[in-house]
Chain A
């Protein structure tokens, strides 16, 4: 009797499992069902926006501007930060926001899963030419399978900030900090590097080995994805950058000591690595001069562009974007709101707000890098004036110069995983655990698996 009962229970569980597991989906995962014609409608009703969580003076000015442009729309803003898990849960539960701000690295993944609306008709319905409004590399970040899936914003390219004080003491010139000439660069690093008891005291050059991974791959002629966003991390062109990074860290005590040293930097504080002469040069994104600005009087700064293997300036930067989920209830307003936030008038308002903020603190205006070349240039002309500190002005000018030399990582269905695996490959190479080729091959396998999971390929 007991055996019969046990068998009955077991059979019931199996049937229940089979029924649940074999539930036939009502449609393919990648079917979007997006009603892109809705972009033609006039903006009205309620707009539920989520994840615009960077509303500082610049953000608030743009929000106010966009609200003025969409006066007939009731804009409800959830200003909590984007969270991938929360996003998918909200979509599943039917609590779909009309528009979401997210890192551009997510866009390819969600586009491939059919969770976002393509926005080409959003642009055409509102007479916006993406290639004119944004840098081409910025548009490429949100382009997947020849369609644009998000409205991009911000683009803060990296360049190399120089600590002239350390450089002069070591007899190093700006021309020596040249990523296109590894031997010259390594020699300069050797001159500036100082250690005490084997522990680094001053780095010649902080390459931000795991913080600026795309500069050391794409920036040096590497290839991370193909035209479909499929990972190509094992492409031989990626090996060069990893090997150069290893030479750079090995010349400064090895990766472990380098990493522990950079982890101890007071990166945002008044005892930062430039004030304390802990670096001779460092690869930094465009926003970092804002951190250094209060200490400009104490510092002797300069800057040079990161150069590719041919000696040409190059930069790679991501940023954020506004994406519209497939099941958004008010795509017309969402589209118009995102475009309003990224148009010239919004950036003018933002530039004015930032100038007022900086005037209160008597700080240096380093400009805004909006993702739009026209906006960047107009704000530069209007607000970025000589600061009286030639070195600091050189830093600002260098970032403006490299902005036009951007390359895109591209939108990949495996975007986040690709970034993580590439970081792991770099670490394994720098620690000497694997050769660059082997580390990249392992990273390729893992990211390809993620790609296939998303695309079902």
Chain B
């Protein structure tokens, strides 16, 4: 206690000597400057490597760029007009939206389920956390190779397991109706990044709240929905936004399962927006059109995120809100 007093007093003296007492406004400004200084390396990187390239890509979207000759011919708005005319744009956006609607809720639920399980583990918690996180560490190519074996409609382990119960499993990788669910399954395999965020949030929920709720007779389900979910709503909100953005940019899984080997058939059902964008940019070298596609995706994601933030603010509880 004495030490605290001394420090407080010394600090007060210094303040008086230098700039007088800190008003809330002055304190906010100092805090802001310190904050900006801390994040300045990121800001500089963002300005050079993200904002700069974004502006360049906007310029490219109004041109025909020949990468080989480095020549840019003006294209006006033709690349954007083509977005409306190319049937694959609508098809790939539809596929991507379908995937996002299916994948994001499943990822949230599955990650929260795994995090809740891990949160209850006392002995060997570190071991289980490591094991659960391993899929995230596995290269996407290796994961795809495993899923190609698992999901084979005739000989794959999943269908053989289903056959054990007399169920004829679907042709996951060939039947257009099952192509997107199979990609969602592969996505769920790598859900541990989301799980870790939930686990951290769960650890921060005060135990007293559960004890009080128990005394009031609330069961586990009531506790989950009345305490856990509100208390981790910030993490849920964050994950929903991040996963939605990731879902609209899904590429690895679809490309590795269906588009890597061009001698293989690639069902239209697996043509996601990012895959088509990649094809336009790096296989057909239509950089102008690909840049226009990228900007369309950017606008869509901005609108979706704005809606999510607007809706989310009604439900999210921020502990440190001032």
Known contacts A84-B283, A88-B285, A453-B284; A260 and B153 CB within 8 A of each other: yes
Q: Is the C-beta of A427 less than 8 angstroms from some C-beta in chain B?
A: yes
Q: Name the interface residues of B39-68: CB closer than 8 Å to any CB of A.
A: 55-56, 58-60, 62-63, 66-68
In the complex the two chains form, what is the Cα distance from A222 to B154 in whole Å? 33
CB-CB < 8 A to A199: which residues of B?
Answer: 154-155
Asked if B71 and A13 make an inter-chain contact with CB atoms under 8 angstroms apart, the answer reads no
Q: Is the C-beta of B268 less than 8 angstroms from some C-beta in chain A?
A: yes
In the complex the two chains form, what is the Cα distance from A274 to B75 in whole Å? 55
Asked if B154 and A200 make an inter-chain contact with CB atoms under 8 angstroms apart, the answer reads yes
Asked if A256 and B153 make an inter-chain contact with CB atoms under 8 angstroms apart, the answer reads yes
Asked if B68 and A260 make an inter-chain contact with CB atoms under 8 angstroms apart, the answer reads no
CB-CB < 8 A to B67: which residues of A?
Answer: 88-89, 91-92
Q: Name the interface residues of B233-287: CB closer than 8 Å to any CB of A.
A: 262-268, 282-286
Known contacts A424-B265, A424-B268; A91 and B152 CB within 8 A of each other: no
Q: How far is the CB of B251 from chain A (nearest CB, A)?
A: 15
Asked if A264 and B58 make an inter-chain contact with CB atoms under 8 angstroms apart, the answer reads no
Smallest CB-CB separation from A456: which chain B residue?
B64
Q: How many residues of A sit at the interface, in one of the four size bands? A: 35 or more
Across the interface, B69 reaches (CB within 8 A) one of A23, A84, A92, A428, namely A92
Q: Is the C-beta of A457 less than 8 angstroms from some C-beta in chain B?
A: no
Q: Name the interface residues of A422-457: CB closer than 8 Å to any CB of B.
A: 423-424, 426-428, 431, 433, 442, 445-446, 449-450, 453
Asked if A29 and B74 make an inter-chain contact with CB atoms under 8 angstroms apart, the answer reads no
Asked if B154 and A261 make an inter-chain contact with CB atoms under 8 angstroms apart, the answer reads yes
Asked if A22 and B69 make an inter-chain contact with CB atoms under 8 angstroms apart, the answer reads no
Across the interface, B72 reaches (CB within 8 A) one of A25, A420, A449, namely A25
CB-CB < 8 A to A426: which residues of B?
Answer: 265
Asked if A417 and B171 make an inter-chain contact with CB atoms under 8 angstroms apart, the answer reads no
CB-CB < 8 A to B266: which residues of A?
Answer: 420, 423-424, 427
Q: Is the C-beta of B173 less than 8 angstroms from some C-beta in chain A?
A: yes
Q: How far is the CB of B159 from chain A (nearest CB, A)?
A: 9
Smallest CB-CB separation from A105: which chain B residue?
B262
Asked if B263 and A211 make an inter-chain contact with CB atoms under 8 angstroms apart, the answer reads yes
Q: Is the C-beta of A419 less than 8 angstroms from some C-beta in chain B?
A: yes
Q: How many residues of B sit at the interface, in one of the four size bands? A: 35 or more
Known contacts A210-B263, A449-B86; A264 and B268 CB within 8 A of each other: no
Q: Is the C-beta of A80 less than 8 angstroms from some C-beta in chain B?
A: no
0 or 1 for each of B275-310: is its CB under 8 Å from A? (1 = yes): 000000011111001000000000000000000000
Q: Is the C-beta of B97 less than 8 angstroms from some C-beta in chain A?
A: no
Q: Is the C-beta of B70 less than 8 angstroms from some C-beta in chain A?
A: yes
Q: Is the C-beta of B148 less than 8 angstroms from some C-beta in chain A?
A: yes
Q: Is the C-beta of A127 less than 8 angstroms from some C-beta in chain B?
A: no
Across the interface, A210 reaches (CB within 8 A) one of B72, B148, B264, namely B264
Asked if B59 and A17 make an inter-chain contact with CB atoms under 8 angstroms apart, the answer reads yes
Across the interface, B174 reaches (CB within 8 A) one of A27, A256, A445, namely A256
In the complex the two chains form, what is the Cα distance from A257 to B175 in whole Å? 9
In the complex the two chains form, what is the Cα distance from A29 to B72 in whole Å? 10
Q: Is the C-beta of B141 less than 8 angstroms from some C-beta in chain A?
A: no
Q: Is the C-beta of B90 less than 8 angstroms from some C-beta in chain A?
A: no
Smallest CB-CB separation from A427: which chain B residue?
B265
Q: Name the interface residues of B62-97: CB closer than 8 Å to any CB of A.
A: 62-63, 66-75, 86-88
Q: Is the C-beta of A21 less than 8 angstroms from some C-beta in chain B?
A: yes
Smallest CB-CB separation from A210: which chain B residue?
B265
Interface of A is mostly: helix
In the complex the two chains form, what is the Cα distance from A263 to B262 in whole Å? 15
Q: Is the C-beta of B146 less than 8 angstroms from some C-beta in chain A?
A: no
Q: Name the interface residues of A159-214: CB closer than 8 Å to any CB of B.
A: 197-200, 209-211
In the complex the two chains form, what is the Cα distance from A306 to B56 in whole Å? 52
In the complex the two chains form, what is the Cα distance from A428 to B269 in whole Å? 10
Known contacts A13-B55, A255-B174; A428 and B268 CB within 8 A of each other: yes
Asked if A21 and B71 make an inter-chain contact with CB atoms under 8 angstroms apart, the answer reads no
CB-CB < 8 A to B219: which residues of A?
Answer: none
Q: Is the C-beta of B168 less than 8 angstroms from some C-beta in chain A?
A: yes
Q: How far is the CB of A415 from chain B (nearest CB, A)?
A: 11
CB-CB < 8 A to A423: which residues of B?
Answer: 262-266
CB-CB < 8 A to A71: which residues of B?
Answer: none
Asked if B284 and A260 make an inter-chain contact with CB atoms under 8 angstroms apart, the answer reads no
CB-CB < 8 A to A13: which residues of B?
Answer: 55
Across the interface, B262 reaches (CB within 8 A) one of A20, A29, A264, A420, namely A420
Q: Is the C-beta of A40 less than 8 angstroms from some C-beta in chain B?
A: no
Across the interface, A16 reaches (CB within 8 A) one of B55, B73, B148, B289, namely B55
CB-CB < 8 A to A256: which residues of B?
Answer: 153, 171, 174-175
Q: Is the C-beta of A416 less than 8 angstroms from some C-beta in chain B?
A: yes
Asked if B72 and A260 make an inter-chain contact with CB atoms under 8 angstroms apart, the answer reads no
Q: How far is the CB of A1 from chain B (nearest CB, A)?
A: 20
Q: Is the C-beta of B105 less than 8 angstroms from some C-beta in chain A?
A: no
Q: How far is the CB of B80 from chain A (nearest CB, A)?
A: 12
Asked if B174 and A259 make an inter-chain contact with CB atoms under 8 angstroms apart, the answer reads yes
Asked if A260 and B154 make an inter-chain contact with CB atoms under 8 angstroms apart, the answer reads yes
Q: Is the C-beta of B220 less than 8 angstroms from some C-beta in chain A?
A: no
Across the interface, A260 reaches (CB within 8 A) one of B55, B86, B174, namely B174
In the complex the two chains form, what is the Cα distance from A117 to B87 in whole Å? 36
Q: How far is the CB of A401 from chain B (nearest CB, A)?
A: 25
Smallest CB-CB separation from A198: which chain B residue?
B168
CB-CB < 8 A to B72: which residues of A?
Answer: 20-21, 23, 25
Q: Is the C-beta of A113 less than 8 angstroms from some C-beta in chain B?
A: yes
CB-CB < 8 A to A431: which residues of B?
Answer: 174-176, 267
Asked if B265 and A113 make an inter-chain contact with CB atoms under 8 angstroms apart, the answer reads no
Asked if A22 and B74 make an inter-chain contact with CB atoms under 8 angstroms apart, the answer reads yes
Known contacts A21-B59, A88-B285; A29 and B154 CB within 8 A of each other: no
Q: Is the C-beta of A355 less than 8 angstroms from some C-beta in chain B?
A: no
Asked if B173 and A260 make an inter-chain contact with CB atoms under 8 angstroms apart, the answer reads yes
Asked if B152 and A260 make an inter-chain contact with CB atoms under 8 angstroms apart, the answer reads yes
Q: Is the C-beta of A115 less than 8 angstroms from some C-beta in chain B?
A: yes
Q: List 19 A-B contacts (CB under 8 A).
A: A20-B56, A20-B59, A20-B63, A20-B72, A21-B62, A25-B71, A92-B68, A197-B163, A199-B155, A256-B174, A259-B171, A259-B174, A260-B153, A260-B155, A263-B148, A264-B152, A426-B265, A453-B286, A453-B289
Given contacts A91-B68, A256-B175, 17 further A-B contacts (CB under 8 A): A16-B55, A20-B63, A85-B282, A114-B69, A115-B68, A257-B153, A257-B154, A259-B173, A260-B154, A260-B173, A416-B262, A416-B283, A423-B263, A423-B264, A424-B268, A427-B267, A453-B284
Binding site for A on B (CB under 8 A): 55-56, 58-60, 62-63, 66-75, 86-88, 148, 152-156, 163, 168, 171, 173-176, 262-268, 282-286, 289
The 10 closest A-B pairs by CB, nearest first: A427-B265, A260-B153, A256-B171, A20-B59, A25-B71, A21-B62, A256-B174, A91-B68, A88-B68, A260-B154
